[in-house]
Amino acid sequence: GGASGFGLETATRLLRAGMSVVILDVSVEELEAANQKLSTLAPDGVGVLAQRWCATDGLTPASQCQMSA
pLDDT in tens, 12-60: 998 888 888 888 877 778 888 888 888 888 766 555 555 555 555 555 6
- As to burial, measured by CB atoms within 10 angstroms (0-12 exposed, 13-18 middle, 19+ buried), residue 17 is exposed
C-alpha closest to that of 26 among 48, 54, 66: 54
pLDDT value of residue 10: 93
Q: What is the structure's pLDDT at 69?
A: 36
Is residue 8 within 8 A of residue 23, CB to CB? The reply is yes
- How far apart are alpha carbons 56 and 26 in whole angstroms? 13
pLDDT on residue 7 = 92
Three-class secondary structure of residue 61 per DSSP? strand
CA R_g for the chain = 14
